[in-house]
Amino acid sequence: MGENKKLMLAGEWYIADDEELGADSRRREELCRVFNTATDPERRQAALREMLGSVGEGVGIRPPFQCDYGSYISIGARTFVNFNAVFLDAAPITVGADVQIGSNVQLLTPTHELDTERRRAGWEKALPITIGDNVWLGGGVIVCPGVTIGADTVVGAGSVVTKDLPSGVLAVGSPARVIRRLAGTVEA
């Protein structure tokens, strides 16, 4: 593994335009193409399992689906991902079991430099995203770098999650804010 990739996976600043990362991305491009265009469900599932780091039993992802590398994504059993999901996995993305992900949801681990010269030079870093078990992300939700969403939480459609959310809450808005605890959940 090259130094640039090590920096990326460690959450440090790295240059995204790198030969090794480019090769990983080309691998993902081909697997996404197969997944998104295959009409045979077995071929589609095989591409998904080859592309992603880990796929639990009964996972359903509706195409089209896009990701950066795929190999840094782990999805738990019985999770459902609706149309047009974008998982940018320059850092690990961990999705628990029994998660419902609405259409047009974006899980975005990369962030870019605020300094104009470093941004122009291509510096970025990525922070992991973790989605707990039994979470529901409504349509169009955006989850920003470094965010953890606790188990049993619901995030309303169109929300932008910029900070961690605890377990068992309803959060909405941009930025997403907790508006209440959900019935049947216990405070962590």
Question: Which is the catalytic residue, given 78, 112, 177, 181?
Answer: 112
| Long-range CB contacts for residues 61-66, cutoff 8 Å, separation at least 24 | 61/35, 61/85, 63/35, 63/36, 63/37, 64/36, 65/32, 65/35, 65/36, 66/32
Known catalytic membership, residue 142: no
CA gyration radius for the chain? 17
Phi and psi based region of residue 153 (left: phi greater than 0; alpha: psi -120 to 50; beta: remaining): beta
DSSP state of 53: S
3-state secondary structure of 116: helix
Catalytically active residues, by annotation: 112
